[in-house]
Amino acid sequence: MQSSAFLSRKEMIGFALLAALIFIVFPMMLDSFRLNLFGKYLTYAFVAVGLALCWGAGGILSLGQGVFFGLGGYCMAMFLKLEASTPENTSIQSTPGIPDFMDWNQLTELPWWWQPFYSLPLALFAVVAVPVVFAFIIGVAMFTRRVGGVYFAIITQAFAAILTILIIGQQGYTGGVNGITDLRTLLGWDIRTDEAKTTLYFVNGVLLFAVLFAAQYVRKSKLGRLLIAMRDQEDRVRFSGYNVANFKIFIFCLGAAFAGIGGAMFTLQVGFMSPTLVGIVPSIEMVIFCAVGGRLSILGAVYGALLVNWAKTTFSESFPELWLFGLGGLFIAVVMLFPNGLAGVWSEKIEPRLLALLGKAPADKSAPDGAPAE
């Protein structure tokens, strides 16, 4: 009988290794600047983990995850911006007490929908709730009408385009193409100092593990098996008496919630939020983080986000031209040569050799949950 324990021994080791890497190895090896950078990479891992559930398990490819990342990030940024825009700080503006970009755009009072973001609890609630509500609306509209596959991908991509254009076009309300910048303190605590950044890195790590455990719980529940079943035989699931749309809506909303948390942590650690993190390009790059990690593996998603972003920083610092070739090649290679990503390479190539070296027969011969989804 297949083990239904929350974590198999193998998975336990995987979680422990990742925890050691994030909480011990990185903080010991990296200076404060690099650690902050890795913290930024890890915020993308939130999105990638959500995609591993939506796309890897559920077969729902969203090319609009940047929308949810951005919404979460903007909710956080709005709170921080309001805190930074005290009448004293903004006394040189023609209307003191409102964010600077509003003043530049001749706004004379705070729009009503900015008001709730004076409150931290409301802002934190919004970080999760706003992306989830958006995802829910999109999900209900699309999934109950059985829009899926490439159509869903294209329409979510259109949403990424729409939100970007909207943010850039409404600069008086959103900060426009520059985004919301010059964020300073969180309840009086200066988030720009090295110590604050290190603390935020650890908060980020803890939240990431909370998200990973939630994702693992879903994967191991019957809902996780249903997702895979839906991906491969949607009609059959329907005729086993399940309302397929509800399950898709749920997993899409869960992915959005993860992305929203990631976005908020991005804002806190990097100190700004802008439409460049929302649009078509970042959204599809988030898919590649997941694909590189192995689209079904939630731990792989974290490694994928780390690796691709680390490569991006390294290459685009020294060989900016090479980077786009590399990224393009990565998209093609991961689809054509390594459809199961790092997780696949590990379980198919490295692990058997390792076990052979140790003189053990492979203990668990079950492959990762099957072939790539369409």
Partner 1 sequence: MQERFILKVEDLTVSFDGFKAVDALSFYVEPNECRVIIGPNGAGKTTVLDLICGRTKATAGSVRFHDQELLTMREDQIVNAGVGRKFQTPSVYEDLTVFENLELSYPKGHSVFGALVFKRDADVRARIKEIAETIFLEGQLDEKAAFLSHGQKQWLEIGMLLIQDPELLMLDEPVAGMSVAERKKTAELLNRIIQDRSVIVIEHDMGFVADIATRVTVLHQGKTLSEGSMERVQNDPKVVEVYLGH
Partner 2 sequence: MFADYSMAELGAIFAMQGFAGLILFSVFVLMALGLAIIFGQMGVINMAHGEFMILGAYVTYLMSNLFADFMPALFSMYFFVAMILAFIASGLLGLFVEWAMIRHLYKRPLDTLLATWGLSLILQQTYRSVFGAREVGVSIPDWMMGSLPLTDLIEVPINGIFVMVLAVGISLAVYIMMFRSRWGKQVRAINQNRVMAGAVGINTEWTDRLTFGIGCGVAGVAGSAFTMIGSTGPTAGQLYIVDTFLVVVFGGAGSLLGTIASAFSISQAQSIMEFFLSGSMAKVLTLLVVVGILMIRPQGLFSLKLRK
Contact set with partner 1 (CB under 8 A): 1-2, 4, 217-218, 221-223, 225-226, 228-229, 232-233, 235-244, 246-247, 250, 369-371
Task: Please tell me whether residue 24 adopts helix, strand or coil conformation.
Answer: helix
Q: Which is nearer to partner 2, 157 or 216 (CB)?
A: 157
Backbone angles phi, psi at 79, to 5 degrees: -60, -50
For partner 1, give the closer residue by CB, 159 or 250.
Answer: 250
285 within 8 A of 328, measured Cβ to Cβ: no
Residues 236-275: x where in contact with partner 2 by CB under 8 A, - otherwise, as a string: ----------------------------------------
Shortest distance in whole angstroms from residue 181 CB to partner 2: 20
Contacts of residue 14, Cβ cutoff 8 Å, sequence gap at least 6: 299
Q: Which is nearer to partner 1, 193 or 243 (CB)?
A: 243
- Which residues ranging from 45 to 84 are in contact with partner 2 (CB under 8 A)? 55, 59, 61, 63
CB of 113 to partner 2, least distance (A): 17
Position 327 contacts partner 2 (CB under 8 A): yes
Stretch (H or E) spanning 230: helix 222-232
Residues 285-310, buried b or exposed e (16+ Cβ, 10 A)? bbbbbbbbbbbbbbbbbbbbbbbbbe
Q: Using CB distances below 5 to 8 A depending on partner kind, what does residue 184 bind out of partner 2, partner 1, none? A: none
Query: Distances from the Cα of 257 to the Cαs of 78, 107, 134, 162, 327, in angstroms?
Result: 18, 32, 10, 20, 27
17, interface contact from partner 2, partner 1, none, CB < 5-8 Å by kind: none
Rounded CA separation 152/164 (Å) = 18
Cα separation of 77 and 274, whole Å? 10
- The residue (of 217 and 325) whose beta carbon lies closer to partner 2 is 325
Binding site partner of 335, from partner 1, partner 2, none, Cβ cut-off 5-8 A by kind: partner 2
3-state secondary structure of 27: helix
Residues 328-347 that bind partner 2 (CB under 8 A): 328-332, 334-336, 339
Residues in contact with partner 2, counted by CB under 8 A, come to a total of: 47
Q: Minimal distance in Å, beta carbon 58 to partner 1?
A: 13
Q: Is 372 in the site for partner 2 (CB under 8 A)?
A: yes
The separation between the first and the last C-alpha atoms of the chain, rounded to the nearest angstrom, is 29
116 binds partner 2 (CB under 8 A): no
**SS3 sequence of 239-295:** CCCCCHHHHHHHHHHHHHHHHHHHHHHHHHHHCCECHHHCCHHHHHHHHHHHHHHCC
Looking only at residues 121 through 150 of this chain, which bind partner 2 when binding is defined by CB under 8 A? 141-142, 145-147, 149-150
Provide φ and ψ at 334, rounded to 5°: -70, -25
Q: Which of 17, 65, 35, 27 is nearest to 303 (CA)?
A: 17
Maximum alpha-carbon separation in the chain: 75
Report the residue number, 60 or 80, with the smaller CB distance to partner 2: 60
Q: Which residue number, 31 or 321, has a Cβ lying nearer to partner 2?
A: 321
**Which one, 120 or 214, has the nearer CB to partner 1?**
214
In angstroms, the Cα distances linking 288 to 119, 158, 307 are 36, 18, 11
324 binds, among partner 1, partner 2, none (CB under 5 to 8 A by kind): partner 2
Q: Give me the residues that bind partner 2 (CB under 8 A), please.
A: 55, 59, 61, 63, 141-142, 145-147, 149-151, 153-155, 157-159, 161-162, 165-166, 168-170, 280-281, 284, 287-288, 291, 321, 324-325, 327-332, 334-336, 339, 372-374
